[in-house]
Chain A
Amino acid sequence: DGGITQSPKYLFRKEGQNVTLSCEQNLNHDAMYWYRQDPGQGLRLIYYSQIVNDFQKGDIAEGYSVSREKKESFPLTVTSAQKNPTAFYLCASSIWDRGTRSPLHFGNGTRLTVT
């Protein structure tokens, strides 16, 4: 079955450490996205990528970095510069087309806790 895999489901880190969240998809989608969700709130876009070796900042990119070396993979690094890294992180992918019809398909998320 095709889908998006995020690992791990729960992640704990000490303040000041960088941490990388994994996101892999086998849907053959060109576009991939990272969103952050805080308790009781909507999703906010961190970074997105339309093609391999290219990505753009979303609305809250500060303190995060990404890479897109392979079509299937879009890892997110939460750096020590991110002031409030504790959150639920969701990765998504979609067909990249010129219209607006293609829905995003989401992984199950990684819950990051930094103490």
Chain B
Amino acid sequence: AQKITQTQPGMFVQEKEAVTLDCTYDTSDQSYGLFWYKQPSSGEMIFLIYQGSYDEQNATEGRYSLNFQKARKSANLVISASQLGDSAMYFCAMRVRAAGNKLTFGGGTRVLVKP
């Protein structure tokens, strides 16, 4: 079975500073993908970034980067230069090819950006 763990229920970050959100995963399969989603208070889920298990480079998308450490089974999200609009819930998720490609989510981390 697949499992995603996000150990930080909530955190504060000062505007313009960087923040790292932790995510560890558990799977015995070799082919999988890791995703990060943002959920503002309005409720919609916004796709941020993807990392494949065979990707050699860490993924980056604008101010978002993924610190992928395969041996440690971690896929931490780094948000650089935080903005007030970054205040939201952030979810790490995993898709395992052998498990029908379903997306399994972690419990989320709430980020509040302080001005």
Whether the Cβ atoms of B35 and A109 lie closer than 8 Å is: no
Instruction: Count contacts on A: residues with CB < 8 A to the other chain.
Output: 29
Contacts of B108 in A (CB 8 A): 40-42
Contacts of A100 in B (CB 8 A): 31-33, 52-53, 95-97, 101
Partner of A106, one of B4, B44, B101: B44
Report the interface size class on chain B: 20 to 34
Number of A-B contacts (CB under 8 A): 66
Q: A98 at the A/B interface (Cβ < 8 Å)?
A: yes
Whether the Cβ atoms of A45 and B102 lie closer than 8 Å is: yes
For window 59-106 of chain B, which residues contact chain A by CB distance below 8 Å?
91, 95-97, 100-106
Residues of B within 8 A of A (CB): 4, 6, 31-33, 35, 42-45, 47, 50, 52-53, 91, 95-97, 100-108
